Amino acid sequence: MIIDGKKFAKALRAKIKSQILKIKKRKKLIPGLTVILVGDHPASAIYVKNKQLSAKEVGMNSSVLRFKSSISQQKLITVVKKLNKNPRVHGILIQLPLPKHINSNSVIETINPLKDVDGFHATNVGNLSIGKDSFVPCTPLGCYILLKSIKKNLSGLNALIIGRSNLNGKPMTQLLLKEDCTVTIAHSKTKNLKHLCRQAAIVIAAVGRAKLVKGDWVKRGAIVIDVGINRINFKGSSKIVGDVDFESVRKKAYAITPVPGGVGPMTIACLLNNTLKAYKNIHS
């Protein structure tokens, strides 16, 4: 089974749009998302444009604040503080990476946790780790939704997460622990990775190494979620592939996400969902 992330993302956006239409009938103030973009990183610009288009598609107020890469950290923090006080802004997102002279954590920690729709603020990270309601980072949340669509009861299953980043690996671990999975986190210093992979009913690859997971690594009937986005040269042109060798693994897996078209579309849909949640939390 190939897990169609585009299909699930479309359904989630439709659900969000329906809820926003109901809000518009009752209230003047609707959910608002503001994205801060610093510098002219090409990939970041594309991501931000897609986020803005998706937000407008579902009926949200969406804006992008663009700054030169020379902006000071203190000025950026001042901008965030103003957005915290703005009643029309319910979600604040800092597009990463930031220039090297800016400490990303310092800026993110300035965001009001109630408006932290990326789920990176320490308050949200802490709440997730102890099982309290929180904003979950959008990519692992998208992985979780896709995973639950394939198998509702994950209790007792062995899950292997390849990659221990704060953005994906660690929050994914908390989500699966909450589902009573037995979770193993692998990373660059893990020994016998192939052996660990063969034991897992769920494999989530988020390490940033093209086609790392091969077909003979995967247990037959496993569910494989590929978070990786890697650009490689293929027959003289550029091609995007995941951390999983899709063609060999799909022969063994019960279900697998493709790259592109798997986790990626869900990330933006989950950002919109988090923004709607922020609106509801603030106005409740």
Q: Scan for tokens 């979780």, then name that residue.
A: 144
pLDDT, residue 43, reads: 83
* HSE-up (13 A, CA, CB side) for residue 15: 13
Rg of the Cα atoms in the chain:
19
Q: Which of 51, 115, 219, 277 is catalytic?
A: 51
Instruction: Write the CB contacts of 18 (distance below 8 Å, at least 6 apart in sequence).
Output: none
Instruction: Write the CB contacts of 73 (distance below 8 Å, at least 6 apart in sequence).
Output: 101, 102, 103, 106, 107
pLDDT, residue 141, reads: 98
Instruction: Write the CB contacts of 143 (distance below 8 Å, at least 6 apart in sequence).
Output: 168, 172, 204, 225, 227, 263, 266
Active site residue 174: no
Active site residue 243: no
pLDDT, residue 237, reads: 83
pLDDT, residue 42, reads: 84
Domains annotated on the chain, with CATH: 27-114 (3.40.50.10860), 138-264 (3.40.50.720)
**Are the beta carbons of 34 and 93 closer than 8 angstroms?**
yes
pLDDT, residue 16, reads: 98
Q: Which of 52, 115, 116, 118 is catalytic?
A: 118
Tens of pLDDT along the chain (284 residues) come to 999 999 999 999 999 999 999 999 999 899 999 999 999 888 888 889 999 999 999 999 999 999 999 999 999 999 999 999 999 999 999 999 999 999 999 999 999 999 999 999 999 999 999 999 999 999 999 999 999 999 999 999 999 999 999 999 999 999 999 999 999 999 988 999 999 999 999 999 999 999 999 999 999 999 999 999 998 888 788 889 999 999 999 999 999 999 999 999 999 999 999 999 999 999 98
Q: Which of 52, 95, 219, 226 is catalytic?
A: 95
Closest CA to 271 of 149, 141, 176, 145: 141
- For the chain, the residue count is 284
pLDDT, residue 233, reads: 86
For residue 201, the 8-state DSSP code is: S
Cα 160 from chain centre: 18
* HSE-up (13 A, CA, CB side) for residue 13: 20
pLDDT, residue 226, reads: 98
pLDDT, residue 238, reads: 85
pLDDT, residue 284, reads: 84
Active site residue 95: yes
Count of CB atoms situated within 10 Å of the CB of 208: 16
